[in-house]
Amino acid sequence: MESLLVKTGIYGFVCSLAVGILVIDTTTMVPAQTGYTSYEKDGMEYTVELLRFSIKLTIACIIVVLIYTWYKKYRKK
């Protein structure tokens, strides 16, 4: 079971990183007094946001797999 969780963590992180690159924008719209202003995120800000997204999805994947394995284990009893 431990190896399953480790594999889920690794593959979940890599896949969520790929999805994050496709989904997360490099520009941000900020409300101003007369309308909206857009600015481009610098590399560090974009990287931190991408890592945050990937880590959240990885933790969610691990929790889902953990619940599924517990369900399969106790269902057999």
Per-residue pLDDT tens digits for 43-71: 999 999 999 999 999 999 999 999 999 99
pTM of this prediction? Answer: 0.80
- The residue range of the domain holding 27 is 2-76
Mean pLDDT value across the chain = 91
Burial of 16 (C-beta count, 10 Å sphere; 0-12/13-18/19+): buried
As for how many domains the chain has, the answer is 1
